[in-house]
Structure 1
């Protein structure tokens, strides 16, 4: 059924009645008090609604429409694959030719220390998996207490229980009993907003690292498993890290044998000019999932 069959207002009513929208005031939405746009088409970098209002798709969907909309080559490939094999899981050593070839292509594309790919469904899923990998890693090494995860304030890392806790954005934690106790938050790496009067970028980066080290010591380094951060602050302000930030932060983390997780959901796949944002800022020793990186 399409807009041709029902019309915009009928679709809007069904949307208000039957669809649960994230990051939306549900009561206001159901009463029609908030904009109820119905998107119907897109091409290149533009997307338009049922009333022919065209917008620049600045977010690229939610950061994943990497090559624009309306690519016939991709649409044809999706259609052909759906006809041949629409789904096959990869549990228990089962695989497919295309998954194997894609894994090889991703490893060759990223290079460096990457060896293997664990495909996940979303940024939230990838980061939850990264945390589980860190916990499993420490269990294997006989360090079951080394499980706390540190994330900067204003970082955005997903909508799960742990990834939601990792977000240093209170708006996303209200009503959900988050953050969970396993998470701690560090200084926001936003020099423009957080620096003291007269504080240079380098001095601010050093203060961030000093405050991180003080937090780790207060928590007991033997209980801290990983630090997660976006190479560039995303939802929390779209702010590049101050000069020397990642170098100073990693010095502290390596000192206390704490893993680094670089959340590349927004800044991977060439968006910074490098293949991944972590490479641009010298984040070292990275193992990679499609939407998240973790350094062991």
Structure 2
């Protein structure tokens, strides 16, 4: 199936969809040599592969699999059709410059809670390398082959029922600690309630997410950004984001959650949007030391 859509405003297709990529070897997301974005998903519980390209102001999406039609219907939402940047006034020169340089920065929404929740849980309090390695192994072991002519080794994310049935030793083999695996299994058992957050206000969605043991402020924000397109959801508790915001807006090399929230307060309603722009265009703080070590739970 194929559909062409003309966005109402400039959209950076690759950058917007890259919010859903979990590492350079993500089995559910690939960017090919022709600049096409390939993404697998499970809208309505049915597997689908979607290929998205942009040319001359139009976005063309092709899809395969039982969930193809639902996925094509969702593509405009993925690319920020419901996003409303009105009211965002970049007071700081760095943000103003970012808006000028990257006018296609929008906040998309998928409505797919579990597909955003599981990788967010895997990323809790570990290095990106650890999280991406676990995600890749779990998808290659338990995900379905991607429908259609997808790039080699792409997989569709498992259904919530499969996530809930994965035995503890398989999570262990993937380098996922017991606390994170318990959170995923618990979420899989309450999937109906969690998938309902796509129709809730952001505060209600936050409360429902955080009612699940193991889901805190950071995880809830990461999920709401992707599922609801919440342009104000700040990832409080992130390892690097406070330093990026502080350095870009004040020149301070070290930040904190408190300082970050203070600096972002003038942009309330669009604080996540401000963070996206700073991550893309703002000066990044210099490294102060070695990277955090990558732990291997399989040896424990």
TM over 0.5: no
Give me the TM-score of the superposition, normalised by structure 1: 0.26
The structure with the greater share of residues assigned to helix is: 2
Q: Tell me which structure has the larger Cα radius of gyration.
A: 1
